[in-house]
């Protein structure tokens, strides 16, 4: 083999290393080639041929197999240009050799996908948006400069694919987005999809753009009044009684989200109220059929939560009629109307006698009971419909005839029922006939009842009678003595004169002698007074 001759990297022969007509060889390698991958292979003719890289002296990117001549990469290749000087020589005769030059180019491969703006599409549209309206337009670029070859497609759930479509880089509405339905509520009034932008080439390169479309509600419809909003209520309805419910409607979603109010408020001319949320009408004032036979209420229906703007609300006025039903003022019915009762007066507190069984009007108004007559000395008391006897020192059996008045409604004129109770009270010490029981309820025939009224009399106490008797006796005795004295004086006038003269003599003596006491020193001396054994003694003045 003659030195200086190049080797033939392709042909192999048995001759010594022969020169090739290609002193340099161009090799192109794609970017990203991995380590130890075969880049190319060189061949030389001759015996005992071995290979080596002369330049660069310390190759960093490539290595050569000494026997086979395969050139491999030492790592992942990046874009670069390298020149290798390869030596082929006879291992037995190193002087027999030849060289060849390899120009290796690592060519970059453009694997970048298209770039789009916006990278994520989030939009909010009203439910009234028209079909065909564009929601978003993508601006996409291809690093290779082939924007005209980009392809746009839409992927996502069937609900989104049925309502949107792609028109080139534009996302457009395909059909109505009306959200007044439960279907829209099920998806939360939101649609999700993905726009796939694909560029040509091998392999194809694509970019995915997520899309979120939120549909906002619009208050499109006005509430509707109910048909036949007429109610009837008894004039005796109690406070808080339900009259009826106004059921308005609204087509906007959520359905029938209404508020109710009464125009003019609540007052004497309108004794009703309405629940804001349910529309239920209740009684909050007195009702009188004689004053108002019916009421006309104006109810305002206002929709809520039907628009993105809470101030965008719609309302409607509805007429509601409330008619009063008169309730006849009937007297209560008591059974029985006449009762005969027997009780034994006990000791201690009150004892029940009977309980009246009375029914009032259908309105259920409470009944009032009162003792109208026959309750002498307050021996009986009514508590509700129960009659009680208050025990006292009753000495003898006694019969009471009580009249109990029962009435219901306080309206005038008052209609009441009178119940007669004949109560026989027997003291505990008085034996009770065995034929009678302690308490017996007897229904008497409806016959005329004769009631005897006893006038009250004054019964003075015993000490007063005794004092009056003694005083009267003393007065009579005094008057009798005075009359006797006068009669005796008229029988002998002379003696009366003598007595008077004697009295005058006593006065002239200056009171030295006392009346009726003669001088003890002269027992026989005459004192000037006439003495008569029949004379009546003068009584000492009282």
CATH number (domain holding residue 178) = 2.60.40.60
Strand-strand pairing, 294-303 and 380-383: unpaired
Predicted local distance difference test score (pLDDT) of residue 132: 93
Domain that residue 314 falls in: 230-325
Question: Are residue 98 and residue 62 in the same domain, yes or no?
Answer: yes
How many structural domains comprise the chain? 4
The residues, any chain, with a CB within 8 Å of residue 316's CB and separated by 6 or more, are: 222, 223, 224, 225, 248, 300, 301
Residues of the chain with pLDDT > 90: what percent?
38
- At residue 111, does pLDDT exceed 70? no
Question: Are residue 18 and residue 71 in the same domain, yes or no?
Answer: yes
Question: Are residue 173 and residue 237 in the same domain, yes or no?
Answer: no
Rounded Cα–Cα distance for residues 55 and 83 (Å): 8
SS3 of the chain: helix, strand, coil, percent, to 5:
10, 35, 50
The last residue of a domain, from among 411, 426, 441: 426
Residue 482 inside a domain? The answer is no
Predicted local distance difference test score (pLDDT) of residue 319: 94
Fill in the DSSP letter of residue 11: -
- 466-489 residues labelled b (16+ CB within 10 A) or e (exposed): eeeeeeeeeeeeeeeeeeeeeebe
Predicted local distance difference test score (pLDDT) of residue 508: 40
Question: Are residue 212 and residue 119 in the same domain, yes or no?
Answer: yes
Taking only the tens place, the pLDDT of each residue in 320-335 is 999 999 877 678 889 8
Residue 59 inside a domain? The answer is yes
Residues of the chain with pLDDT > 70: what percent?
75
Phi-psi region of 132 (alpha: psi -120 to 50; beta: other; left: phi over 0): left
Residue 518 inside a domain? The answer is no
The last residue of a domain, from among 82, 107, 132: 107
Which residue from 140, 192, 125, 129 is spatially nearest to 170, judged by alpha carbons? 140
Question: Are residue 338 and residue 320 in the same domain, yes or no?
Answer: no
Question: Are residue 200 and residue 263 in the same domain, yes or no?
Answer: no
Predicted local distance difference test score (pLDDT) of residue 346: 73
Residue 160 inside a domain? The answer is yes
Question: Are residue 154 and residue 120 in the same domain, yes or no?
Answer: yes
Predicted local distance difference test score (pLDDT) of residue 501: 40
Predicted local distance difference test score (pLDDT) of residue 449: 54
Which residue from 451, 390, 453 is spatially nearest to 425, judged by alpha carbons? 390
Tokens 């003598």 map to which residue?
498
Question: Are residue 255 and residue 312 in the same domain, yes or no?
Answer: yes
Question: Are residue 337 and residue 388 in the same domain, yes or no?
Answer: yes
Question: Are residue 419 and residue 358 in the same domain, yes or no?
Answer: yes
Residue 376 inside a domain? The answer is yes
Residue 538 inside a domain? The answer is no
Taking only the tens place, the pLDDT of each residue in 450-480 is 555 555 566 677 777 788 888 889 999 999 8
User: Which of the given ranges, 82-86, 201-205, 279-283, 362-366, has the highest pLDDT on average?
Assistant: 279-283
Taking only the tens place, the pLDDT of each residue in 20-30 is 335 678 898 88
The residues, any chain, with a CB within 8 Å of residue 176's CB and separated by 6 or more, are: 131
Q: Which of 47-61, 471-485, 487-501 has the lowest mean pLDDT?
A: 487-501
Taking only the tens place, the pLDDT of each residue in 67-103 is 999 999 988 888 788 899 999 999 888 888 889 999 9
Question: Are residue 243 and residue 201 in the same domain, yes or no?
Answer: no
Question: Are residue 103 and residue 20 in the same domain, yes or no?
Answer: yes
The residues, any chain, with a CB within 8 Å of residue 535's CB and separated by 6 or more, are: 488, 495
The residues, any chain, with a CB within 8 Å of residue 6's CB and separated by 6 or more, are: 19, 20, 22, 23, 98, 99, 100
Residue 210 inside a domain? The answer is yes
195: part of which helix (H) or strand (E)? strand 190-199
C-alpha distances in angstroms, 71 versus 37, 39, 62, 360, 499? 8, 6, 7, 120, 199
Predicted local distance difference test score (pLDDT) of residue 281: 96
The last residue of a domain, from among 294, 325, 356: 325
Q: Which of 128-132, 446-450, 493-497 has the lowest mean pLDDT?
A: 493-497
Greater confidence (445 vs 380) lies with 380
Q: Which of 192-201, 264-273, 351-360, 521-530 has the lowest mean pLDDT?
A: 521-530
Residue 496 inside a domain? The answer is no
User: Is this model's pTM higher than 0.75 or not?
Assistant: no
Backbone angles phi, psi at 359, to 5 degrees: -125, 135
Greater confidence (506 vs 245) lies with 245
């Amino acid at each position: 083999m003659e030195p200086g001759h190049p080797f033939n990297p392709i042909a192999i022969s048995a001759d010594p290393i022969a020169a090739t007509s290609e002193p340099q060889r161009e090799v192109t390698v794609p970017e990203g080639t991995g380590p130890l991958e075969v880049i190319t292979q060189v061949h030389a003719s001759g015996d005992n041929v071995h290979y080596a890289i002369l330049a660069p002296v310390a190759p960093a990117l490539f290595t050569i197999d000494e026997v086979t001549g395969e050139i491999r990469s030492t790592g992942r290749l990046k874009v670069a240009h390298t020149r290798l000087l390869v030596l082929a020589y006879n291992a037995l005769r190193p002087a027999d050799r030849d060289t060849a030059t390899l120009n290796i180019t690592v060519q970059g491969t453009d694997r970048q996908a298209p770039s789009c703006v916006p990278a994520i599409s989030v939009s909010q549209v009203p439910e009234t948006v028209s079909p065909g309206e564009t929601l978003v337009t993508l601006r996409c670029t291809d690093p290779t400069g082939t924007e005209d070859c980009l392809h746009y497609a839409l992927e996502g759930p069937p609900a989104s694919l049925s309502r949107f479509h792609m028109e080139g880089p534009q996302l457009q509405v395909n059909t109505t987005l009306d959200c007044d339905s439960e279907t829209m509520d099920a998806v939360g009034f939101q649609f999700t999809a993905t726009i796939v932008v694909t560029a040509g080439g091998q392999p194809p390169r694509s970019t995915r753009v997520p899309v979120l479309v939120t549909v906002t509600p619009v208050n499109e419809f006005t509430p509707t009044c109910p048909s036949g909003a007429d109610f009837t209520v008894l004039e005796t309805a109690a406070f808080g009684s339900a009259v009826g419910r106004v059921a308005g409607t609204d087509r906007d979603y959520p359905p029938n989200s209404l508020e109710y109010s009464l125009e003019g408020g609540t007052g004497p001319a309108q004794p009703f109220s309405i629940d804001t949320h349910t529309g239920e009408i209740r009684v909050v004032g007195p009702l009188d059929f004689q004053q108002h036979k019916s009421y006309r209420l104006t109810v305002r229906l206002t929709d809520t939560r039907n628009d993105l703007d809470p101030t965008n609300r719609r309302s409607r006025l509805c007429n509601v009629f409330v008619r009063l039903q008169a309730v006849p003022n009937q007297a209560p019915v008591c059974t029985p109307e006449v009762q005969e009762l027997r009780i034994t007066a006990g000791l201690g507190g009150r004892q029940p006698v009977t309980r009246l069984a009375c029914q009032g009007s259908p309105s259920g108004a409470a009944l009032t009971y009162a003792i109208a007559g026959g309750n002498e000395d307050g021996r009986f008391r009514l508590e509700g419909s129960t009659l009680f006897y208050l025990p006292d020192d009753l000495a003898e059996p006694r019969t009471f005839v009580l009249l109990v008045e029962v009435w219901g409604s306080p309206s005038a004129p008052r209609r009441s029922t009178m119940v007669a109770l004949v109560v026989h009270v027997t003291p505990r010490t008085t034996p009770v006939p065995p034929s009678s029981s302690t308490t017996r309820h007897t229904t008497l025939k409806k016959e005329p009842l004769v009631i005897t009224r006893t006038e009250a009399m004054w019964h003075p106490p015993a000490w007063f009678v005794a004092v009056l008797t003694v005083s009267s006796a003393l007065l009579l005795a005094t008057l009798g003595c005075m009359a006797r004295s006068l009669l005796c004086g008229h029988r002998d006038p002379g003696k009366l004169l003598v007595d008077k003269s004697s009295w005058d003599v006593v006065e002239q003596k200056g009171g030295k002698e006392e009346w009726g006491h003669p001088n003890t020193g002269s027992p026989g001396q005459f004192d000037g007074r006439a003495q008569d054994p029949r004379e009546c003694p003068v009584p000492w003045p009282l």
